[in-house]
């Protein structure tokens, strides 16, 4: 069983359209869709926005539905200049930019007993690379920073980029990473850029999120064929 997780409905609608038939199960205030795509058993869901929702949904996909690998599909805000709206990137590792106990001398993003950053699965990332080659597109990669805020300002944007050397920002990846890491499930996080997280990012987001969500979903289903 392979899990495909998004945060917003728009991020998984293209997946559900492409897999055709599916069985819906309601659990933990959410819906889980089981399907078979080209011989692969899938469980598909959108978690709703934020780190807590995405951690819960990833846990259910693994513990209740038996997911043995997890792929996140969705959109993100770009932090680094070279990464443009519509482009896809995968996370090399993930951090929580809003986790702050620096008052006690700890670095940003750190809590005692867990890691600052969690690395994604090298095998899944290399499958992503080969899909990109097959499709003839450039796949970028970098650190993704997650936090429970929509970043839409130059100051916060550049602080996150600087503090974590992050390439993109979103609101779910780091919590999914922690769950998968703790439960020993290989995972990867794919995101197509919907905005640049700066002044008035919400306007670009509204304009490009559906298209970028589709780009990421298409890419992820190509990856499924290779698993």
One residue of 2, 60, 77, 216 binding ligand 4EH per CB under 6 A: 77
Tokens for 80, please give them. Answer: 């680094």
Of residues 170, 172, 195, 196, which has the active-site annotation? 195
**Which 124-183 residues touch ligand 4EH, going by CB under 6 A?**
150-152, 169-171
How many Å apart are CA 112 and CA 99, to the nearest integer? 12
The answer to whether residue 95 forms part of the interface with ligand 4EH (CB under 6 A) is: no
105 with 116: CB under 8 angstroms? no
For residues 5 and 37, which CB has a smaller minimum distance to ligand 4EH in the complex? 5
Ranges of H-type helices in the chain: 9-19, 51-63, 122-135, 154-164, 173-183, 201-225
CB-based burial label for 84 (10 Å; 0-12, 13-18, 19+): exposed
One residue of 194, 214, 215, 216 binding ligand 4EH per CB under 6 A: 194
| 195 in catalytic set | yes
The answer to whether residue 76 forms part of the interface with ligand 4EH (CB under 6 A) is: yes
For residues 69 and 144, which CB has a smaller minimum distance to ligand 4EH in the complex? 144
How many Å apart are CA 40 and CA 169, to the nearest integer? 30
Residues engaged in binding ligand 4EH (CB under 6 A): 7-8, 49, 75-77, 150-152, 169-171, 194-195, 197, 201, 205
Q: Catalytic residue numbers?
A: 11, 195
């Amino acid at each position: 069983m392979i899990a495909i997780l998004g945060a917003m409905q728009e991020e998984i609608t293209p997946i559900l359209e492409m897999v055709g038939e599916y069985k819906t199960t309601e659990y933990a205030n959410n819906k889980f869709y089981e399907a078979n795509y080209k011989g692969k058993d899938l469980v598909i869901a959108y978690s709703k926005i934020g780190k807590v929702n995405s951690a819960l949904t990833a846990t259910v996909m693994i513990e209740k539905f038996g997911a043995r690998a997890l792929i996140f599909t969705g959109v993100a805000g770009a932090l680094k200049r070279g990464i443009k709206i519509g482009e896809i990137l995968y996370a090399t590792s993930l951090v929580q930019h809003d986790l702050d106990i620096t008052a006690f001398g700890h670095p940003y993003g750190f809590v005692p007993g867990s890691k600052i950053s969690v690395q994604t699965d090298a095998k899944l990332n290399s499958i992503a690379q080969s899909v990109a080659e097959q499709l003839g597109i450039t796949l970028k990669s970098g650190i993704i920073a997650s936090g429970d805020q929509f970043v839409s300002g130059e100051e916060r944007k550049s602080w996150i980029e600087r503090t974590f050397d992050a390439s993109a920002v979103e609101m779910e990846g780091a919590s999914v990473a922690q769950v998968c890491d703790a439960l020993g499930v290989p995972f990867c996080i794919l995101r197509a850029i919907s905005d640049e997280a700066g002044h008035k990012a919400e306007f670009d987001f509204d304009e490009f999120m559906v298209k970028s969500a589709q780009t990421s979903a298409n890419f992820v289903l190509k990856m499924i064929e290779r698993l």
